[in-house]
Amino acid sequence: MHLEIDRRNIRATRLQTTTSRQLIDGEVLLTLERAALTSNNVSYALSGDMLDYWGFFPAEAGWGRLPVMGFGVVTTSHHPDIEVGSRYFGFYPLGDDHVVQAKTSSGGFIDVAPWREKHAMAYRSFDRAAPTANDDAILIFRGLFLTSFLLEDFLRERENLGAKQVIITSASSKTSIALAHCVQRFSDLHVVGLTSAKNVDFTLGVGDYHTVLSYDDVRQLRNDTSIVVDMAGSPNIVADIHRHLTGCVSYSCSVGATHWDAARGGVAVPPPKPEFFFAPSQLAKRGKEWGREELNRRIADALGVFIESTTRWMTIRHTHGADAVAALYGELVAGHVEPSVGNIVSFK
């Protein structure tokens, strides 16, 4: 069974039973043990057609299976080098079982189904993963932290484009907090978070921002050379920032869409034109330059430091059962999940 989303209206979902079939040579069947469900996944749904997230796991026309980061256990294997009972971290469709046409790689295997060939390696790799005490936090943060780590690296590689401050929208979101953490740790930029008025106190209390303002207080931003990182996906917010900082924005980019219902309006944003930051491109670049082993070491070290810092503000909530998971997805789409909560889900 899988949770499927109406591609024309991401609020609409259904639970679709999957017909089992005999595996062919090279295929493995994994049962999704657990997965993280965050606002990042809402961004995947919103960008499903534009970035082909719906192409990861084909479904009936008009419907999409939501990619989630999870741990899965091999329950049936028709691959000689992949054992039943082995456990893997990777992208799964939100549901119970998942069939992969596998090719072994260093540390795991790759999904080599024909429809997966065009997707970035990061999205179709499954890494062998023994259980650890930090499994839940790893699921919640590894994917979104990777985006934040790579964006900070992208900016620092360009000497932060001469900026003195970075302004991050949707500052209470976990991806934004991870970016603020990385910027504070690796550069000397002044880190400013913009969030809704109700989340200002929480966001400031996280400890990764120097300044936190509500969206209504954009005019309090310092007129310094600035980088603008839009995690909200709201052109209205970006336009307000650019207007206030006319001539001071050295770089502007879009990453997420937590304010997804505001992401489709035709709003004129003053220059510079925001660019879309695609993390897999920076990942591939650094993989070639540093080597995969060194890249993974740097990411793991930085992620470990960040996860340790989140224990002071995040509570992990577990949700079990298909109906309860579907209801939680609806809460995320509606924006009703507190930023201090990290959700781990299982159809079991």
265 pLDDT tier (thresholds 50, 70, 90): low
What pLDDT score was predicted for residue 234?
A: 84
What pLDDT score was predicted for residue 223?
A: 95
Mean pLDDT of 90-100: 96
**140-280 has which fold?**
Rossmann fold (3.40.50)
Q: In sequence order, which residues have a C-beta less than 8 Å from that of residue 16 and are 6 or more positions away? A: 1, 2, 3, 4, 59, 60, 63
Reduce the DSSP state of residue 113 to 3 states and report it. coil
- What tokens were used for 81? 């080098």
Nearest to 1 by CA among 13, 23, 19, 21: 19
Within the chain, all domains assigned CATH 3.90.180.10 are found at 2-131+315-346
Q: Answer whether residue 186 shows pLDDT above 90.
A: yes
Looking only at Cα atoms, what is the longest distance across the chain? 63
Mean pLDDT of 95-112: 93
Mean pLDDT of 85-98: 96
268 pLDDT tier (thresholds 50, 70, 90): confident
Percentage of the residues of the chain whose pLDDT score is greater than 90: 82
Burial 104-130 (b: 16+ CB within 10 A, else e): eeeebbbbebeebeebeebbbbbeebe
- CATH number, domain 2-131+315-346: 3.90.180.10
d(C-alpha 280, C-alpha 272), whole Å = 23
Q: Which of 4-8, 34-38, 233-237, 257-261 has the lowest mean pLDDT?
A: 257-261
What pLDDT score was predicted for residue 260?
A: 46
Q: Which residue has the tokens 């119970």?
A: 96
What pLDDT score was predicted for residue 257?
A: 55
What pLDDT score was predicted for residue 256?
A: 62
Within the chain, all domains assigned CATH 3.40.50.720 are found at 140-280
Nearest to 309 by CA among 182, 169, 167, 127: 182
* Average of per-residue pLDDT values in the chain: 93
Q: Answer whether residue 82 shows pLDDT above 90.
A: yes
What pLDDT score was predicted for residue 266?
A: 66
Q: Answer whether residue 95 shows pLDDT above 90.
A: yes
What pLDDT score was predicted for residue 43?
A: 85
- What tokens were used for 223? 């007129």
Q: Which of 42-51, 54-63, 94-103 has the lowest mean pLDDT?
A: 42-51
**Residue range 131-176, pLDDT digits in tens:** 999 999 999 999 889 999 999 999 999 999 999 999 999 999 999 9
User: 17-26, 185-194, 229-238, 266-275 — which one is most confidently predicted on average?
Assistant: 185-194
